[in-house]
Amino acid sequence: MRTRIVVFSLAAAALAGCGADDGGEDDVAGPTWYRDVAPLLAEHCMGCHRGGGVAPFSMETYDVAAAVAPMMLEAVEAGVMPPWDAASSDECAPRHAWKDDARLTAAETQLLRDWIAAGTPAGKAADVPAPPDLALAGVTHSVTPSVPYVTTGDRDEFICYLLDPGISRLSWMTGLEVVPGNERVVHHVVVMGYMPPPVLNAAAGGTPVGQPFPCNGGVVTMPDTFLMGVWTPGSQPFETPADIGLPVPAGALVLVQMHYHPGGATTNDPDASTVNLRLQTTRPIHTYTIGAAGNAAAAPQLQPGPDDRDVPEFRIPAGATDHVETMRFPLSGLADGRFRLFAAYPHMHYLGVELSVQVEHPRPDGGVDTECLVNVPRWNFDWQRTYQYDAPIADLPSIGNGDTIVVRCSYDNTLANPFVRRALEELGLQEPVEVLLGEESLDEMCLGMFGVLVEPAP
């Protein structure tokens, strides 16, 4: 992966010399770099493709952009760039568009195509607009471990930190951002709120605030905790829509679970990742919690699948392609009313190919209306993010008693899957291995997480 990026940047630099045509004409009929293309790419691409950004090359200068223009068009046409994996398919198409959808429209893609067809004219030189700032605005609380963690570099490690953001009164979170200290080893970060029980508080001398401690597995189900957010490669800062916030009690600590993954990084490579929070002390109109459906290990939720032996099992044999796991979660025991979902976060690991979450609403006539909540037709482990429905609250998808959530994932456990090659390489393995449900990177998951409004709608 890294090799490819380095090779690519060199190629871009080498080509840059020959594509330049800074002629400065201002009367070009078709699109020009300075007038049309640079503003477009600034908005959609340069947040990452800029000096110091996460992408392997910057498109801020005409020379580089012109040199790689055909490749940019190819990446856009293939749906690879900008990274945005939630899409509609014949089986699953959400009712609403997504907020801040980064993808280019057909007209914008055509503009890029026309510019290339015309020989990538520079046009009259002008300032390239500043790319959008991807950092979370209005951060009120920020926590970083005081003791960095040095990974062993030879195996997956789960390390937790309890951090104290100093929340002195009941607050509501409207934004969360994780800034990894060392992207080469941070594989994922789960951020939980933790309310220390009073008895633990009294003995707080024993709470290792700021110090790393091992915490293999299961943090999401720890008592006295609530999920605040998850960072995975490709995540952007999370911001709730107006009037929606996650309640955070006074005195809450932040429990951060770091999953460190070798990824070829050496030892002596410390990490101290920062969690930034935006909290407000006025109650928003709506509060939310994070609900999850998926990761069923057995029947009755786990449905029979192609490679099962005696009973339904979450097992992806080595060499399996088109391996599907399907799970059904009937909802009961919720309060009366409908609970609106405003955000969706689909999650699998390296073997994942496709994921969909649908909800079946029973109809009074005995039939069922199936609604697609989120669909990822081409999973890319590197680009996981939270998607938010672009709809007024009253029209958001909703769930309630009697509904059934159906989560379906498909996997490719062969060397044809580039992520399988990468995972095996990182673990020093040659051939695919059997993969089961679990938390480590060569385990799999099939999970839809949702931001669910707590106050039921009529």
Site residues (vs ligand HEC, CB under 6 A): 5, 8, 41, 44-45, 47-49, 54-56, 68, 71-72, 75-76, 80-83, 102, 104, 382
Exposure of 167 by Cβ count < 10 A (0-12 exposed, 13-18 middle, 19+ buried)? Answer: buried
Q: Smallest distance, Å, CB 1 to ligand HEC?
A: 7
Contact at 8 Å (CB) between 160 and 257?
A: yes
Specify burial of residue 68 (Cβ count, 10 A radius: 0-12, 13-18, 19+): buried
In the bound state with ligand HEC, the residue whose beta carbon lies nearer, of 109 and 216, is 109
Of all helices (H) and strands (E), which one includes residue 387? strand 387-388
DSSP-derived pairing of the beta strands 225-231 and 186-194: antiparallel
Closest approach, Cβ 234 to ligand HEC, in A, equals 7
CA distance 423 to 156: 12
**Residue 423 Cβ, how far from ligand HEC at the closest point, in Å?**
15
Q: Where are the beta strands (DSSP E) in 212-334?
A: 213-214, 225-231, 238-239, 244-248, 253-260, 270-271, 274-280, 286-294, 315-316, 323-330
Q: Which is nearer to ligand HEC, 8 or 328 (CB)?
A: 8
* Nearest approach, Cβ of residue 100 and ligand HEC (Å): 11
Q: CB of residue 109 vs ligand HEC: minimum separation in angstroms?
A: 9
Nearer Cβ to ligand HEC, position 44 or 347? 44
| Alpha carbons 113 and 31: distance in angstroms, whole number | 10
Q: Give 74 or 91: the residue with its C-beta nearer to ligand HEC.
A: 74
Q: Write down the least CB distance from residue 247 to ligand HEC, Å.
A: 30
DSSP class per residue in 115-173: HHHTT----S--PPPPPPP-SPSS--EEE--SS-EE--SSS-EEEEEEE-----S-EEE
Q: Quick one: 72 or 343, whose CB is closer to ligand HEC?
A: 72
Please identify, using beta-carbon distances, which residue of 83 and 262 lies nearer to ligand HEC: 83
Nearer Cβ to ligand HEC (217/418) = 418
Reference 337, options 277, 291, 399; nearest CA is: 399
Closest contact distance (angstroms) between CB of 128 and ligand HEC is 14
Tokens encoding 443: 């385990």
